[in-house]
Amino acid sequence: MSMPVVREFMKRHLPSMSALAALTAALDAHASSTPLEPRVAARIDDLLRAMGAGDVLGGLSPEEARPLVAELRLWFGLDGKLMQPKGRVPGWTHSEPELLQTVGDFAVMHAHGLTRDIAPQLEGLTARLAAPDASFLDIGVGVAGTAIQMARNWPNLRIVGIDPWQPSLALARANVKQAGLADRIELREQLAEDLPDEAAFDLAWMPIVFMPQGVIAAACARTLRALRPGGWVVLTPSGFPPDPVGAAQIRLRMTMFGGPECTTGDVEQWLRGAGFADVRTLASPPASPVAPVVGRRPTS
């Protein structure tokens, strides 16, 4: 590509980048009920209108806007790291507290998806999560965004969150303490493939897109053993959009996340191989682009 061609490429795509940043500002103002400075608000409005998103806030509640803000900040934060040499290392090695916290803010959405959309579709799970001895395993607990929201959604639920990444665990400890949930959420520096628990959990969440391919078989086997008979595991594979641009973007993300490129069919096969029963792919929850794959520990 010659310089003019690169410039032309940039000229074509920079408005999209600015529009997403402007959209983040507009959504954030809406979510936090903090009006934008009027001159900035007018320009943001112009740009969104010109990009065909003039009425983007119409009909959206502040609660609905909040996870969208977290998601946009998350993608800007992660993609922005590609611009610096230090940020181009594949795998989950982020140590910036703000970025890790943004990931946790977005991950609250997983707790809502598990609670509202996924649990009601899995036989016996809603009753189990409401029971006095209910127990949830959050693999890759990060800064505990998902774990804290699950504890809030299910008042009886005890949670074990595991993660090998110390920078996230340090934030998780502070977040759990601040939420007043230290007696219900146990945090461990641990890998899924080293899980020692047996028949301890009703539900396990496995963030497969961040886990190296080589550990997945062992992680599935340990998770199966850690579930109570009849307990469920939920995984969300990367998913591949049919268009080449979307697919290439996901491949870049998966490489940076450190996880495998995988279809729902691959994940179903891994779960069956580990001994899970009732393995199937659910429809994507409304707030998520990804279809979860589930499996159950056999009861006998």
Ligand X SMILES: C[S@@+](CC[C@H](N)C(=O)[O-])C[C@H]1O[C@@H](n2cnc3c(N)ncnc32)[C@H](O)[C@@H]1O
* Region 87-116 residues binding ligand X, contact defined as CB under 6 A: 92, 103-104, 107
The single residue among 210, 253, 263, 282 that binds ligand X, judged by CB under 6 A, is 210
d(CA 233, CA 227): 8
d(CA 113, CA 110): 5
The single residue among 23, 56, 109, 143 that binds ligand X, judged by CB under 6 A, is 143
d(CA 133, CA 127): 11
For residues 124 and 164, which CB has a smaller minimum distance to ligand X in the complex? Answer: 164
d(CA 270, CA 217): 7
Q: Both tokens of residue 179? A: 């939420």
Give the nearest distance from C-beta 215 to ligand X in angstroms.
5
Distances (CA, A) of 272 to 44, 210, 233, 276, 279: 49, 20, 12, 5, 7
The single residue among 215, 247, 282, 287 that binds ligand X, judged by CB under 6 A, is 215
Instruction: Indicate the helix (H) or strand (E) that contains 107.
Output: helix 97-112
The single residue among 207, 237, 285, 292 that binds ligand X, judged by CB under 6 A, is 207
The single residue among 102, 146, 223, 264 that binds ligand X, judged by CB under 6 A, is 146
Give the nearest distance from C-beta 192 to ligand X in angstroms.
4
The single residue among 97, 164, 230, 239 that binds ligand X, judged by CB under 6 A, is 164
For residues 24 and 146, which CB has a smaller minimum distance to ligand X in the complex? Answer: 146
Cα dihedral: 78, 82, 83, 89 (round 10): 120
How many alpha carbons lie under 13 Å from residue 201 in its C-beta half-sphere? 24
For residues 48 and 118, which CB has a smaller minimum distance to ligand X in the complex? Answer: 118
Give the nearest distance from C-beta 159 to ligand X in angstroms.
11
Report the interface residues with ligand X, using CB under 6 A: 92, 103-104, 107, 139-146, 162-165, 168, 191-193, 207, 210-211, 215, 219
